[in-house]
Structure 1
Amino acid sequence: MALTACGPRDRPAPTASPPPAGTAPPAGTATHTLTAGGVRRSYEIHVPPGTGTAPRPLVVELHGGGGDNDAIERQTGFFDLADQKGFLVASPNGTGRLEDRLLTWNAGWCCGQAAQNDVDDVGFIAAMLDDIAAHYPLDTRRVYVTGFSNGAMMTYRLGCALADRLAAIAPVSGALDHDGCAPSRPVPLLAIHGTADQNVPYNGGTGAVQEERFPSERGRVDRSVTDSVGFWVRRDGCPATPAERHDGTVTRTTYTPCADGTEVVLDTIDGGGHAWPGGRKGRPRADAPAADLDATAAIWDFFARHELPHR
């Protein structure tokens, strides 16, 4: 689980009412709130310049445990890429006992107060997507989710629960720590993970979490990358034998063709730690991001290949 509690940006996005439906939204970043499961929740949305009323793809980015929506954006830089490629970005906040600090997601058996309190984060994300669709030019066939650490675990869970609404998912440094995953359709997956990750171990088991901040995570056992990715290989009806490509410290393992035009891809970073490859550290003492892979660019390239089938 990422422990990325960082301070707010120098200029936090202002809380604002969503723009009227059918109008071109202003470029920039705004914070919106909504009530989900009886709890007031918030998310940021970033709109690239030149956005009119034509439907745009949406990338949802989920922060790690202990972080917030500002922290994950500092790690990934998705807002800047969105300005270049013309897609929307939503960056929601989890929940925590300290209101705006030590936020987590209920990804199954992880993490923190969200899991302990069985917070309905699936319901919150679904409500956020409804809110965005009602006020922004959203292409509902091109909605994607990515996340880091606890946010990656939540990404897996959303792939299980909202498969009919998500065109593809991309967890980074996370595990499928959720029982009963039963996606309603095959879901394209790109997973990224370092072999030296000590927080969410590549081979599964108990990681070195900071127990003084998250004592509830003491002894947590994560699924391995092989088991987490293997679930989607089987569920998506992929061939058992993948293709492999090596580029520096990165090994790309690709399972294709899979059912309904999907694919399952794993980028393994030899020696990579618990970090967003090619990005920035979530906190000063965090692992250094691997330099051989730009995870943000790789994820968008993967997402851009997939959309929901016509129904």
Structure 2
Amino acid sequence: MRHWIGALALTAGLLGLGQTAQAACTLGEAGTTRAVRMGPTQRTVQIHVPRDFDPAQAAPLVLLLHGSGGTGAAMLTSSKLADAADRHGFIVAAPDAGIPVERGFVWNVPGVPTITGAIPGPDDADDVAFLLAIADDLAAQGCADPARLYATGLSGGGRMTSWLGCVVADRFAAIAPVVGLRAGNPRKADPASPDPATCRPSRPMPVIAFAGDADQTNPIQGGGAPYWSYTMHAAEQRWAQLNGCAATRPTRWVSNTVYEEGYADCRDGAEVAGRITRDGGHSWVADNDAMWAFFAPRTRD
């Protein structure tokens, strides 16, 4: 995959600040969200600055990726991740994806069709490059800590989050797909298992995934659309293999409606966890505080 970060240029930079590093971050007033435009295509990114943000101290950054046909603004509202950011002190960047469709946008995940059925081609937006450019620009402004970059997303955004873990693991400290955990595309000859050739992370990637057991769009039991096919547990197992996990953790109930499964004793502490909501559907079933508890101790070397 091409990552034409240089082609983005970012000549204006976020909020018109340019590309030069600043002594202190000047994103805006703490506890507020504003829409900014980035890159030559001027795509929209919602930036939430946490309450009590110290502009002299770079903060962790969470990329929040909307579902297919959605927008960053709607995702930020429905996920309530800005509230968690205010509690825990991280910046949220919720961009619009690069492929316009109907009233929203779709992420470019190679080999995965958009909601119109079309397979993204070489002329479609390079969303990996764009997402990295957001992180780079916020780091250049002294706002975001590049060692504490995380990603989460819903459905198609969850699949995009998984893809980031596969292809740019060196940039992210952890990922948290929501109703969208994948570990590469399904094998063509055996769709019930992931194709190892389509997910080759350069380093162990800590993963916490959230899903509902009544999801009919991306069912945890597998099946569904051809791009889905294998089970959520198969995806967890594959990430555990990639991360060199040596132990399966006993399943435990973390609440009356949510149980957690996963793998431990992984290389570099890259644990794999899956939280399943009983009777949960295809929606933001993530516990944002639990997500942050998983993210917070993890940094990229």
TM-score of the superposed pair, with normalisation by structure 2: 0.81
After TM superposition, give the deviation of residue 220 of structure 1 in Å.
Answer: 4.4
After TM superposition, give the deviation of residue 22 of structure 1 in Å.
Answer: 2.2
Counterpart of 2:159 (choices 140, 153, 167) is 153
Counterpart of 1:297 (choices 286, 289, 295) is 289
Distance in 1 of aligned mates of 2:16 and 2:49: 14
> Is residue 24–residue 57 contact of structure 2 (8 Å, CA) maintained in 1?
no
Indicate the residue corresponding to 1:103 in structure 2. Answer: 105
Indicate the residue corresponding to 1:135 in structure 2. Answer: 141
- The within-5 A match list for 1:178-197 is 178=185, 180-197=198-215
One-letter identity of the residue aligned with 2:200:
A
- 1:52 lines up with 2:55 in the alignment: yes
Q: Structure 1 residues 238, 220: closer, same or farther in 2, change over 3 A? A: closer
Indicate the residue corresponding to 2:83 in structure 1. Answer: 80
- 1:34 lines up with 2:38 in the alignment: yes
After TM superposition, give the deviation of residue 83 of structure 1 in Å.
Answer: 1.7
After TM superposition, give the deviation of residue 30 of structure 1 in Å.
Answer: 2.5
- The within-5 A match list for 1:53-68 is 53-68=56-71
Distance in 1 of aligned mates of 2:150 and 2:127: 16
Q: Structure 1 residues 79, 97: closer, same or farther in 2, change over 3 A? A: closer
- 1:249 lines up with 2:257 in the alignment: yes
> Is residue 111–residue 150 contact of structure 1 (8 Å, CA) maintained in 2?
no
Q: Structure 1 residues 137, 222: closer, same or farther in 2, change over 3 A? A: same
Q: Give me the CA root mean square deviation.
A: 2.2
One-letter identity of the residue aligned with 1:89:
V
- The within-5 A match list for 1:155-304 is 155-176=161-182, 177-178=184-185, 180-207=198-225, 220-246=227-253, 247-277=255-285, 295-304=287-296
Indicate the residue corresponding to 1:216 in structure 2. Answer: none
> Is residue 65–residue 111 contact of structure 1 (8 Å, CA) maintained in 2?
no
> Is residue 16–residue 31 contact of structure 1 (8 Å, CA) maintained in 2?
no
Moved more, 112-121 or 243-252: 112-121
Q: Structure 1 residues 115, 31: closer, same or farther in 2, change over 3 A? A: farther
> Is residue 175–residue 222 contact of structure 1 (8 Å, CA) maintained in 2?
no
Indicate the residue corresponding to 1:285 in structure 2. Answer: none
What percentage of residue pairs aligned between the two structures are identical? 36
TM-score of the superposed pair, with normalisation by structure 1: 0.78
CA deviations on 1:263-287 (whole Å, 9 max, x unpaired) are 111112222110112xxxxxxxxxx
Q: How many residues align?
A: 265
One-letter identity of the residue aligned with 1:22:
A
Distance in 2 of aligned mates of 1:73 and 1:249: 24
> Is residue 138–residue 144 contact of structure 2 (8 Å, CA) maintained in 1?
yes
- The alignment partner of 2:99 has SS state of coil
After TM superposition, give the deviation of residue 77 of structure 1 in Å.
Answer: 1.0
> Is residue 98–residue 126 contact of structure 2 (8 Å, CA) maintained in 1?
no
After TM superposition, give the deviation of residue 111 of structure 1 in Å.
Answer: 4.1
Distance in 2 of aligned mates of 1:123 and 1:255: 30
- Structure 2 unaligned blocks of 5 or more: 1-13, 186-194
